[in-house]
Structure 1
């Protein structure tokens, strides 16, 4: 049986590559809700309905666990999904807690980059309230970065111009850690690293999410010893061109993580 990963588009491929790295003997199914991408700027109830509809496609497949590889989808629908599905459902949230812990000794602030909908949700704001006892967390929505990613636009000059404009209101020297609170954003990790002061940490939730997945599979004796890291791509629009795009994005991200690492 496969492990399913779900996102509105190709962003969750950043989580998929981490899952393949940590669980090389598992096989995977990746579903993108291409009929409704992007989620981050849409009304909450509308997005929730899209997520629940997409889950109907996933449960038709032989899967043993689902990773909601999307911070926005997690914030909106994770409790309902867990109560309605009889397999483990693992969600994501911006890595605010570890970012705050990293900043305790440095005196630096934390900047969270995410979609507008994630930043508006109670789940995110309750998380910040719970862990940000030093009031050092700031938030910045970057909805257009999702659109760039969906278009496979990785042109460094264009992306740098966009990010410089968005970051221009911030004194970047104040920040020791930047949280990538949308799974599309790690595709631009290297470009961000070039714009931020040296030694600024860039963190996202992929590693912790996949570790949680691995722990749950171990506890349920569900780990696969015979898989080969095979990935099957699906999308809600049943669009072969988009499936080709997902495969291309997967290869792009694999190539990126094989390059020398940046601070995390």
Structure 2
């Protein structure tokens, strides 16, 4: 495991041969939701020896419909993210969408996540890199794994070598995504840890209803295949009741199903 990840997980008890997990509700809806998810996922990860990063977005800038929920407000959302991390002694991550969001978000989060649609935005990548935080760049749905070398180069040239790349599927037609597992070893060739986003890769975007669809019943399939392909970490958005979630409910994993899935995945990892 890279030194910057070892430092990030310092204080957690985990199996160094395990994959690491980035998990949480898609968007910050309330303090109660963050606490419920963080507490339950941390307990599962501690039991299974999985290093854990808590994820929830303080702002959702990329929504299909203008009426979609975007957040509780930046100050409140970032404050709740930081409070959750402190309370449960967990590293945290959140999306940023513009260069002027990087420095403010870096005061509250340990990892800055660059959304897939924005992975080519030079000013965003450079501003994020200059905070000195770990930068997790999601591969664009329109890019190949080898092409992500340019995002890595931009961050490194800005003086930051703490980089994670995340695969999240490739656009297939107008309303679907497919996962090309070749991208996992290809992106590992850039000398960075690679994560598989097991939930967003199952989205069905651009629905005429204005609400993105999904296939959460295949989360386990995506997770197993990605570990077999060499993924270092998994990204799984989870919610106690995805049916009422304010963002991406159609592709999130129900919280009650997480432990069984992770138990299976740890066994698979050990077999590999």
RCO higher in 1 or 2 (8 Å CA, sep ≥ 6)?
A: 1
Q: Is the TM-score greater than 0.5?
A: no
Q: Which has the larger radius of gyration?
A: 1
Q: Would you tell me which structure has more helix in proportion to its own residues?
A: 1
Given the two structures, how large is their TM-score scaled by the length of structure 1? 0.35
